């Protein structure tokens, strides 16, 4: 987990660099106060619940998961990171990067996360785990070439996202970066 005094930009870059050593191809981040983020991105990001739930509610049904890249935990390690897209009716609605301490969740939940079939929020909810989304910070994201290709948008487009942490049963478990499709 990042130190508590890390900025939102530092937290986002740390997650990006875990999968993309050259963060410049990803994009640039700038922390914004909630009232500087327009709707609907603000409604989708400025809350303390799972983005899976927010996206399903906003888009009127379940979202699908596509794993873009992953850094699997070694057989004897509990750290796992992945980059994902959430899709609704085949259209990208969200990008995300998560870093997870799989030792904090029961083994069947860890296996479901590694399988990459369902969004993380859905896996945690279905497992009935007590989760607290906290330290939410909102970001403006100037999209770089990597995100532009995933979102099928211009390379200088602007999107909005958030960094947050999820505690499971009171223990730090997940660091995340979530970006709403522009």
Domains of the chain: 8-180 (3.40.1410.10)
Number of H helices, E strands in the chain: 6, 7
Cβ burial 9-21 (10 Å sphere, 16+ → b, else e)? eebbbbbbebbbe
Report CA 11 to chain centroid distance, whole Å. Answer: 12
Please report the pLDDT score of residue 73 as a whole number.
57
pTM of the model: 0.94
Please report the pLDDT score of residue 2 as a whole number.
63
Max CA pair span of the chain = 44
pLDDT in tens, the chain (182 residues): 666 678 999 999 999 999 998 998 999 999 999 999 999 999 999 999 899 999 999 999 999 999 999 986 565 578 899 999 999 999 999 999 999 999 999 999 999 999 999 999 999 999 999 889 999 999 999 999 999 999 999 888 999 999 999 999 899 999 999 999 99
Query: Pick from 44, 31, 177: which is nearest to 100 by CA?
Result: 177
Runs of H (alpha helix) within 20-167: 41-45, 51-59, 107-115, 120-126, 145-151
Q: Could you say which DSSP state residue 129 is in?
A: -
Q: Could you say which DSSP state residue 89 is in?
A: T
């Amino acid at each position: 987990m990042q130190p508590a005094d890390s900025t939102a930009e530092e937290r986002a870059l740390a997650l990006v660099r875990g999968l993309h050593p050259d963060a410049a191809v990803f994009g640039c981040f700038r922390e914004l106060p909630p009232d500087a983020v327009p709707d609907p991105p603000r409604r989708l990001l400025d809350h303390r619940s799972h983005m899976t739930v927010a996206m399903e509610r906003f888009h009127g049904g379940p979202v699908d998961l596509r794993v873009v890249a992953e850094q699997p935990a070694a057989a004897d390690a509990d750290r796992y990171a992945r980059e994902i897209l959430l899709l609704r009716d085949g259209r990208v609605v969200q990008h995300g990067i998560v870093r997870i301490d799989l030792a904090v969740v029961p083994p069947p939940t860890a296996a479901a996360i590694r399988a990459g079939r369902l969004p993380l929020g859905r896996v945690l909810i279905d497992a009935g785990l007590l989760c607290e989304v906290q330290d939410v910070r909102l970001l403006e994201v100037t999209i770089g070439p990597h995100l532009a290709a995933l979102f099928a948008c211009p390379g200088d487009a602007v999107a909005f996202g958030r960094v947050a942490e999820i505690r499971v049963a009171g223990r730090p478990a997940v660091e995340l970066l979530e970006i709403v499709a522009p």
